[in-house]
Structures are given as structure tokens and as C-alpha cells.
């Protein structure tokens, strides 16, 4: 008889923010296929309805809202009894260099991309301590490693996520919580977020061509490819991996 292999996330409860589209949705699909029970959040919950079944809870969430984070994690604990993995995926990209970026855009980027991750990590640590450990995966970016002249606020926010991840990981390891924390750094992945940036350019087709050729592999990344890295970090396969930066960029940052 064939041997039935349990899913890589069988029995685990995972919370994914920004799950309505792009990398968040691809991660939700990958996690579900590997046996996880899911808590999926987004400002737009309608696309999450197909997931709202026995193994998934769909919630509206503004990740920049502190009280909302406590409510979201408490809802996960009430539904499933524990939290084993958190994917801090929700984020925005606002173009603007140091001369053109507004203070309002700067603050909005930091509130969502940095404060949202901070609040998520804090709430996840609270819940995971009670569950005996877990894995936190923070979506940073290649722009959190190398600079981009036209993305001042975005680069700053993703750089902050990169080092916040290491601080969380070190704290949890030294406290003996058995909670791992790692960051994922994609580059030019075809998602609605990137499509919006391209559409807002003066010459969208020229920008699309330039971005697609920037990585040495010569193409855009796909959301499912990034989701595979997120899945690995959430699973027990990465049990000895913490403080790491997993770069999924087609070789962009090696240049």
C-alpha cells in the first residue's frame, strides 16, 4: 500500500496578514495544501471568502492598529486554541525619493510596513509562548538590503523589518521561548502591489521591461516562488533556522 505523507504544516495554526492577494494569497494556498489551519486577514476580506471553511478563519484587519492586533490573535486562539506560525506579509509601496516623498507618505509606510510587523511580532510572541514555540516570518524586500533612489520610505521600512526580525529572533532564542523569527526578501515579484507601482510610472512599459531584466535571471519572480520560501520557514524543516535572511531575488542583490 502507498505511504501517506502528512502535510508539512499538519496540525499547525498559521496567521497570514495581507492574504487577499499576491504573496499573502499564494502563501495561504500553499499552507492550506500542506495541512495548516489558517487565520487570514486583510483590509479587503471579500477575496478571502473561498478560504472561510472549517480550516480557515477570515478577518478584516488594519495591521497598523494596535488594539486590532490583540483582537485578531485572541480570535485565532479562541478558534483554534494556539498559534504556531505568523506571516507578517501586509505592506504597501509608496514611490518617492528624498526630495519628492511627503512626510505623510513616509509615516504611512512606516505605520503599515514597520509598526504593523512590530505589533504582529509582539502579539505572536505572547501567543506562541503559551503554545510552546512557533515561527514568525516577516516579509521584507530586496529593498531592505540594497537601496533604491526612488523608494526612500519603502527602503527605510523594509530595512527596519530586516533588523527588527533579528532582534526578535535573538530575544526569543535567549529567553528560551522556542520561537524562531526570519525574514524573506523578494525582488520584483509579479503581484498587485508591483503592478500598481508600474501602472503609476510615467512610462509603464519601459519600467516593466527594466524591472523584469534587473535580476540576473532576467525575469520577474512569481508569488508562488516566494510562498515556497515562507512555507519552508513556517515548517519544522527550518527548525534550526532563526535570524536568517532568505533572499528570493533572481540574483539581484549579488550584483
| Alpha-carbon span 113 to 94, nearest angstrom | 11
| Cell, residue 136 | 514568525
d(CA 174, CA 183): 19
Residue 154 catalytic? Answer: yes
**Choice among 154, 188, 220, 232 that is catalytic:** 154
Instruction: Give which of 28, 31, 83 is closest to 235, Cα–Cα.
Output: 31
Place of cell 504544516: 9
Cα Rg for the chain, rounded, in angstroms? 18
DSSP H helix total and E strand total for the chain: 8, 9
In this structure, the chain runs to a length of 255
Q: Residues with catalytic annotation?
A: 154
Amino acid at each position: 500500500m502507498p505511504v501517506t505523507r502528512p502535510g508539512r504544516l499538519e496540525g499547525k495554526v498559521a496567521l497570514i496578514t495581507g492574504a487577499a492577494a499576491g504573496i499573502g494569497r499564494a502563501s495561504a494556498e500553499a499552507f492550506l495544501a500542506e495541512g495548516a489551519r489558517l487565520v487570514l486577514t486583510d483590509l479587503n476580506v471579500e477575496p478571502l471568502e473561498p478560504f472561510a471553511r472549517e480550516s480557515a478563519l477570515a478577518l478584516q484587519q488594519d495591521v497598523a492598529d494596535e488594539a486590532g492586533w490583540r483582537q485578531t490573535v485572541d480570535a485565532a486562539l479562541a478558534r483554534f486554541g494556539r498559534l504556531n506560525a505568523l506571516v507578517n506579509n501586509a505592506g504597501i509601496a509608496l514611490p518617492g525619493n528624498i526630495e519628492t516623498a511627503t512626510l505623510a507618505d513616509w509615516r504611512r509606510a512606516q505605520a503599515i510596513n514597520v509598526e504593523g510587523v512590530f505589533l504582529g511580532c509582539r502579539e505572536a510572541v505572547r501567543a506562541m509562548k503559551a503554545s510552546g514555540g512557533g515561527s514568525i516570518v516577516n516579509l521584507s524586500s530586496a529593498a531592505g538590503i540594497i537601496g533604491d533612489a526612488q523608494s526612500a520610505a519603502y527602503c527605510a521600512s523594509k530595512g527596519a523589518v530586516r533588523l527588527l526580525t533579528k532582534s526578535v529572533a535573538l530575544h526569543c532564542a535567549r529567553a528560551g521561548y522556542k520561537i524562531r523569527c526570519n525574514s524573506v526578501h523578494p525582488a520584483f515579484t509579479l503581484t498587485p502591489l508591483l503592478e500598481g507601482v508600474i501602472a503609476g510610472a510615467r512610462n509603464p512599459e519601459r519600467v516593466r521591461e527594466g524591472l523584469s531584466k534587473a535580476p540576473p535571471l532576467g525575469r520577474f519572480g512569481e508569488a508562488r516562488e516566494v510562498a515556497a520560501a515562507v512555507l519552508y520557514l513556517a515548517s519544522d524543516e527550518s527548525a534550526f533556522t532563526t535570524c536568517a535572511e532568505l533572499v528570493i531575488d533572481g540574483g539581484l542583490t549579488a550584483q
